[in-house]
Structure 1
Amino acid sequence: MVQYHCRVEHLFNVGPGAFNPPPKVDSAIVRLVPYETLPHPAKDHRVLERVVREAFNQRRKTLRNTLKLLLTSDEITASGVDGSLRPEQLDLAAFVRLADTLSEKVVTE
């Protein structure tokens, strides 16, 4: 959700030795620059948050499986998103399209 509100700039990496106890991974220092105008505005940001949460709740599963309580496979496809992808493979615009599809579905039901 940070990418929805801010541009994320990678500044540099920090090795494990900079921490105590040292982690088994490198860390990254980033700068968050808030957008003046959102590049991909969602119809309802709360719906976007829900879609992202549901998608990453079971992140090793495909979107078709993680979002099945919210959207049908046909609705995911109609959003222009491949339901066989995993959440980490999507960009922000794809998540916004899914959320907007869900927003429209809720309004029409």
Structure 2
Amino acid sequence: MTSHIYQGHYARKRFGQHFLHDQSIIENIIRAIQPQHGESMIEIGPGLGALTVHIGRLLNDLVVIEIDHDLILRLQNNPLLKQKLTIFQQDALTFDFSRFARSQTQILRICGNLPYNIATPLILHLFNHISVIHDMHFMLQEEVANRLLAHPGNKSYGRLSVMAQYYCDILPVLNVPSQSFTPPPKVRSKVVRLIPIRHSKELPNHMYLLSCVTRAAFSQRRKTLRNSLSHLIPSEVLLHMHICPKLRAENISVMQYCQLARWLGKI
């Protein structure tokens, strides 16, 4: 098996490590994020610090979440960063962003080059903390980014599309070729910006209900809604909401899925 080494570090496949080295891409990402003095910013998966060093120059303090002990040692010994960094060595999927935001007494800006193997569950995890997030900028596998951005009727439109577009306005920022990384991944990447939409009047359990409806619908996306949602929502309810039971999951808008979730919350 071929081992990939970059700046003295072996890229670990189990952590999905691909290190960004293209300086023009890095500069474009920093311009898109626009870190500002005094902001509370968290970088997920800083790796060898390609983005971290640039962000650190613009901030007095920067929080990073990194699971790889060897990379943490390198960050701790980086002369440009070590006085500014607060490092959490843990899986970002276990990080309590709401608790941290309370400790900072301000909402968070989050960024990162997300490992392909945890991108989707991590984004869904962050939606649990959406009320304490100002914005998010992520480098993602192009397929995942396209799912975030997809509209009804598009083959990429699915459960992640609905969940993400309910919670955020999502904008494409930058396409990134595989050659911009070491080792180069077998897929292209895309940077996206997610800006939370405030839903102050929604039910506290709305995310859970929306998750239930979308999971049921898209787990059997070849079936009609009449069949895929039969155990949750009767066809007459769909008709009452002007949703044709003969349609499939990819034909239903985010607003219509929210209607279905609200109905579930009332029964």
Q: TM-score, normalised by structure 2?
A: 0.34
Q: Which has the higher contact order (CA 8 A, sep 6+)?
A: 1
Indicate the residue corresponding to 1:38 in structure 2. Answer: 199
Unaligned runs of 5+ in 1: none
Structure 1 residue 94: deviation in Å? 0.3
CA contact (8 A) 1:80 1:94 kept: no
**1:71 paired to 2:233:** yes
SS of aligned partner of 1:102: helix
After superposition, the Cα gap between the structure-2 partners of 1:54 and 1:39, relative to the gap in structure 1 and judged at 3 Å, is: farther
Letter in 2 for 1:87: A
Structure 1 residue 16: deviation in Å? 5.6
Q: TM-score, normalised by structure 1?
A: 0.74
After superposition, the Cα gap between the structure-2 partners of 1:97 and 1:42, relative to the gap in structure 1 and judged at 3 Å, is: farther
Structure 1 residue 17: deviation in Å? 5.3
Residues 78-97 of structure 1, C-alpha deviation per residue, up to 9 Å, x if partnerless? 12212222212222110011
Indicate the residue corresponding to 2:255 in structure 1. Answer: 93
Indicate the residue corresponding to 2:36 in structure 1. Answer: none
CA contact (8 A) 1:56 1:87 kept: yes
Q: Which moved more, 1:9-18 or 1:65-74?
A: 9-18
Letter in 2 for 1:73: S
Q: Distance in 1 between matches of 2:252 and 2:200?
A: 16
Q: Distance in 2 between matches of 1:73 and 1:4?
A: 24
Unaligned runs of 5+ in 2: 1-162
Indicate the residue corresponding to 2:186 in structure 1. Answer: 22
Letter in 1 for 2:239: T
CA RMSD of aligned residues (A): 2.5
After superposition, the Cα gap between the structure-2 partners of 1:50 and 1:29, relative to the gap in structure 1 and judged at 3 Å, is: same
Question: Of the candidates 189, 214, 233, which is equivalent to residue 52 of structure 1?
Answer: 214
Q: Distance in 2 between matches of 1:28 and 1:39?
A: 31
Q: Distance in 2 between matches of 1:6 and 1:34?
A: 4
After superposition, the Cα gap between the structure-2 partners of 1:53 and 1:101, relative to the gap in structure 1 and judged at 3 Å, is: same
Structure 1 residue 6: deviation in Å? 1.1
Structure exhibiting the larger radius of gyration computed from Cα positions: 2
Q: Distance in 1 between matches of 2:200 and 2:242?
A: 18
Larger proportion of strand: 2
Q: Distance in 2 between matches of 1:82 and 1:40?
A: 28
CA contact (8 A) 1:12 1:30 kept: yes
Structure 1 residue 42: deviation in Å? 5.6
Structure 1 residue 43: deviation in Å? 7.4
SS of aligned partner of 2:242: coil
The percentage of aligned residue pairs carrying the same residue is 35
